[in-house]
């Protein structure tokens, strides 16, 4: 079978902007976030992000931007004028779609109405709040600086200013019961408008939680309870009109996060700022990019080279196909097996497919798309590994 171009037709194009600073480092977090008690030169970081945008645009040429996402770190520590400067620079180098989704992550501790109105005036039309729990004891254990009351107040501010908002919760927390989670999740659903991100707590290497867990000082729910918590989450959200569209994300139909869909559908995105990842299509080939993670070193690289890249790798067709499989099967909509075959030069192994179908882990839909079943989602990593082998 001959290989096709590794760039899919009619792809969306997104821009991810990483703001790496936080007020404190949460003990479960392995994201590229940094605390700078002595402060930092926000004007210099804005100029460096603008330089990276210019360098990326010069490399890939014209694009229509369907979404922009300010992630972190804590982007809500940025001044609205900084956000406006970045959005204006994106619009200078590319075409911003008239209905572009422009999202910004915020922590409840940095939410106040004046600043949020500034973001709205700058062009942000969607916010995502890192609430993480609606229980004060859990928030303290998770290292969060806000209370449940402050979180609810932040949601109210977001609701009053933005038509679109979402917030995150973490579950499968130590000592969490089904009854307690049902009460907390129902409270969250009552506060939600169109979207919730609900993540199971994972123990990541290199985090304080990893050391505590290894020492037996952080006891996670047993596997059976974790599965029950997952199933309860799916049921309560679906019953409330917020079905899962991705393994950890729930939305009313039509209100899915368009930016994240770019990732999961294997489309193109530019990543700028310290520690940002990107997938760029250049001359019909796919490139994986990463920037320097340490903010100060990233600044030096941008000053020297115009961009802060530490990885700029041309992906082989098989690697593009494996990413397409890995990301696409996270979605309830699944993947088109014909697209996988076009990217990889091979079809999915019929015997492996049959085994997974017989076990109820995957299914083929009427239009030929392949997706993971609700019972298969808790085993997603194993399912993808089996299909990719």
| Nearest 10 degrees: Cα torsion 288, 291, 292, 297 | 150
> What pLDDT, on the 0 to 100 scale, is given for residue 3?
32
| CA pair distance 181, 226, nearest whole angstrom | 11
Separation in Å, CA 358 to CA 18, 124, 191, 340, 374: 43, 46, 40, 22, 14
Please give the average per-residue pLDDT across 341-350, as a whole number: 92
- Whether 5 has a pLDDT exceeding 70, the answer reads no
Helix count (H) and strand count (E) of the chain? 14, 14
| CA pair distance 165, 382, nearest whole angstrom | 33
- Segment 284-293, tens digit of pLDDT: 999 999 999 9
Reduced to 3 states, what is the DSSP secondary structure of residue 17?
Answer: strand
- Segment 128-169, tens digit of pLDDT: 999 999 999 999 999 999 999 999 999 999 999 999 999 999
- Segment 232-275, tens digit of pLDDT: 999 999 999 999 999 999 999 999 999 999 999 999 999 999 99
> What pLDDT, on the 0 to 100 scale, is given for residue 68?
98
* Angle at which helices 337-344 and 317-328 cross, to 10°: 160
> What pLDDT, on the 0 to 100 scale, is given for residue 248?
96
- Segment 201-239, tens digit of pLDDT: 999 999 999 999 889 888 899 999 999 999 999 999 999
- Whether 9 has a pLDDT exceeding 70, the answer reads no
DSSP 8-state symbol, 146: S
> What pLDDT, on the 0 to 100 scale, is given for residue 10?
65
Which domains does the chain carry?
A: 13-262 (3.20.20.70), 334-388 (no CATH)
> What pLDDT, on the 0 to 100 scale, is given for residue 6?
47
Evaluate whether 320 touches 346 at the Cβ level (below 8 Å). no
Q: Smallest Cα–Cα separation from 332: which of 263, 243, 255?
A: 243
- pLDDT band per the 50, 70, 90 thresholds, residue 69: very high
Reduced to 3 states, what is the DSSP secondary structure of residue 297?
Answer: helix
DSSP string, 194-219: SEEEEEE----TTSHHHHHHHTTSSP
| Tokens describing residue 124 | 């942000």
Q: What percent of the chain has pLDDT over 70?
A: 97
The more confident residue out of 15 and 111 is 15
| Tokens describing residue 327 | 């990301």
CA atoms within 13 A on the CB side of 43: 0
Given the structure tokens 């210019």, which residue do they identify?
54
- Whether 301 has a pLDDT exceeding 80, the answer reads yes
> What pLDDT, on the 0 to 100 scale, is given for residue 152?
96
- pLDDT band per the 50, 70, 90 thresholds, residue 112: confident
Evaluate whether 270 touches 286 at the Cβ level (below 8 Å). no
Please give the average per-residue pLDDT across 103-119, as a whole number: 91
Give the angle 269-15-52 at the CA atoms, nearest 5°.
Answer: 100
The more confident residue out of 100 and 386 is 100
> What pLDDT, on the 0 to 100 scale, is given for residue 111?
83
Evaluate whether 166 touches 128 at the Cβ level (below 8 Å). yes
Q: Across the chain, what does the average pLDDT equal?
A: 94
| CA pair distance 89, 87, nearest whole angstrom | 5
Task: Indicate the range of 27-31, 58-62, 244-248 predicted with least confidence.
Answer: 27-31
Q: Smallest Cα–Cα separation from 233: which of 194, 261, 199?
A: 199
Reduced to 3 states, what is the DSSP secondary structure of residue 71?
Answer: strand
- Whether 197 has a pLDDT exceeding 60, the answer reads yes
- pLDDT band per the 50, 70, 90 thresholds, residue 109: confident
Reduced to 3 states, what is the DSSP secondary structure of residue 70?
Answer: strand
Please give the average per-residue pLDDT across 14-31, as a whole number: 93
Task: Indicate the range of 197-201, 210-214, 321-325, 357-361 predicted with least confidence.
Answer: 210-214
């Amino acid at each position: 079978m001959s290989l096709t171009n590794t760039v899919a037709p009619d792809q969306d194009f997104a821009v991810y902007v990483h703001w790496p600073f936080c007020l404190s480092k949460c003990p479960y977090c392995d994201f590229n976030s940094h605390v700078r008690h002595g402060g930092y030169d926000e004007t210099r970081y804005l100029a460096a992000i603008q330089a990276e945008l210019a360098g990326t645009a010069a490399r890939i040429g014209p694009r229509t931007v369907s979404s922009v996402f300010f992630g972190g770190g804590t982007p809500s520590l940025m001044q609205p004028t900084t956000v406006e400067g970045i959005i204006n620079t994106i619009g200078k180098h590319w075409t911003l779609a008239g209905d572009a989704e422009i999202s910004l992550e915020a922590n409840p501790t940095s939410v106040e109405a004046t600043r949020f109105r500034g973001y709205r005036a700058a062009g942000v039309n969607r916010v995502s709040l890192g609430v993480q729990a609606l229980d004060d004891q859990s928030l303290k254990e998770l290292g969060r600086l806000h209370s449940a009351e402050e979180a609810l107040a932040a949601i109210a501010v977001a609701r009053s200013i933005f038509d679109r908002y979402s917030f995150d919760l973490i579950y499968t927390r130590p000592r969490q019961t089904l009854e307690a989670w049902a009460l907390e999740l129902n409270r969250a659903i009552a506060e939600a408008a169109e979207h919730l991100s609900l993540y199971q707590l994972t123990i990541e290497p290199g985090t304080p939680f990893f050391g505590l867990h290894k020492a037996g000082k952080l006891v996670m729910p047993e596997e059976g309870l974790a599965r029950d918590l997952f199933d309860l989450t799916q049921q309560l959200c679906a019953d409330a009109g917020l079905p899962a569209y991705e393994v950890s994300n729930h939305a009313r139909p039509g209100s899915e996060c368009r930016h994240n869909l770019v990732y999961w559908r294997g489309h193109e995105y530019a990543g700028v700022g310290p520690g940002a990842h990107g997938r760029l299509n250049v001359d019909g080939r796919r490139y994986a990019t990463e920037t320097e993670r340490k903010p100060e070193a990233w600044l030096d690289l941008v000053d020297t080279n115009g961009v802060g890249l530490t990885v700029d790798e041309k992906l082989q067709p098989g690697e593009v196909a494996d990413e397409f499989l890995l990301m696409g099967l996270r979605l309830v909509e699944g993947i088109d097996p014909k697209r996988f075959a076009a990217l990889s030069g091979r079809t999915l192994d019929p015997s492996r497919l049959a085994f997974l179908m017989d076990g109820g882990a995957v299914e083929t839909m009427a239009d030929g798309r392949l997706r993971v079943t609700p019972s298969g989602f808790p085993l997603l990593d194993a399912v993808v590994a089996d299909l990719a082998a």
